[in-house]
Amino acid sequence: MSRLKHIANIGCWSVILIVSIFATQATAELPPYAYAESQQDSPEKLVVKVLSTSREDVEDGLLVEMQAQVMSIARTASGLSEGDVITIVYGQKNNPDGMVGPGPIPLLREGITSPAFLIFNKNKAVYYPSAGSFSFDDDVTYLLLEPSDLQTVYFDYNSAALSVKEREKLQENAKILKLYNDWVVELSGHTDERGTAEYNLSLGERMADMVKNYLLALGLPNKRLKTISYGEEFPAAAGHTEEAWAKNRRVEFKVVKK
């Protein structure tokens, strides 16, 4: 009799467990897909590498769970460090186009490195997308922090030629500007103090034009690139040394319209 009672108890607990599982699946809800108005307002601004993904059927579609490693950090409100592995959860609506949410948010594949704009849910210890359709980008391997990430380009004395190193900077700047394709930038040419004011204005103009032409060759439209020369008027470094002069011969990027 005691054995039958034990078996009955096991069967009872099994039924309860099965019912609990189905109840959990039935009541699972897709998480909200956006908390911030833009990427810049996002509490967590990271670059992550997707390690694994899984999906669970819910009433409105699929619940997507992603394990991702933090590769770099622009901002973290939850104390993340590079190398941390985090769980990202978001909802995939029943859409035939393979996209998720009203945004929509692109589905990331394993091995993809992507910017991730997230918010931390302390109660569940998971991260949710925070910037809607701009929370991820599956073709980008860097994260734009601010417009100041656009690198300044430097020149040799009395020259408007671009070195290999400065061309590489411009290639990175071009990637950022293609991602943020509504930005208009001012390219300002600056020289060191040597030479006349008139000559340095002309030299600064040639430097800015050189940068603009290189960016045009990389596929950026002319209407997004404005040039101006300030000559020697606004030095970046004070002093009358080679080191100071080298820092002053430059073309700076300034976002004038977003």
One-character DSSP codes across 112-173 = -EEEEEEEEETTTTEEEESBGGGSB-TT--S----GGGSPPEE--TT--PPPHHHHHHHHHH
Over residues 35-50, the mean pLDDT reads 76
For the chain, give the mean pLDDT. 78
pLDDT surpassing 70 at residue 222: yes
Over residues 46-71, the mean pLDDT reads 82
Q: What secondary structure letter does DSSP report for 41?
A: G
pLDDT digits (tens, 9 = 90+) for 133-182: 667 764 444 444 456 678 999 999 999 999 999 999 999 888 888 867 77
pLDDT surpassing 70 at residue 73: yes
pLDDT surpassing 50 at residue 102: no
- Do residues 36 and 45 lie in contact, with contact meaning Cβ atoms separated by under 8 Å? no
Per-residue confidence (pLDDT) for residue 43, from 0 to 100? 86
Distance (Å, rounded) from C-alpha 115 to C-alpha 88? 13
pLDDT surpassing 90 at residue 210: yes
Instruction: Characterize the bridge pairing of strands 225-231 and 184-190.
Output: parallel
- Do residues 52 and 14 lie in contact, with contact meaning Cβ atoms separated by under 8 Å? no
Per-residue confidence (pLDDT) for residue 133, from 0 to 100? 62
Domains of the chain with CATH codes: 39-134 (2.40.50.120), 147-257 (3.30.1330.60)
Residue 155's nearest CA partner among 186, 201, 189 is 189
Lookup: tokens for 51: 């390690």
Share of the chain above pLDDT 90, in %: 41
pLDDT surpassing 60 at residue 197: yes
Distance (Å, rounded) from C-alpha 172 to C-alpha 221? 16
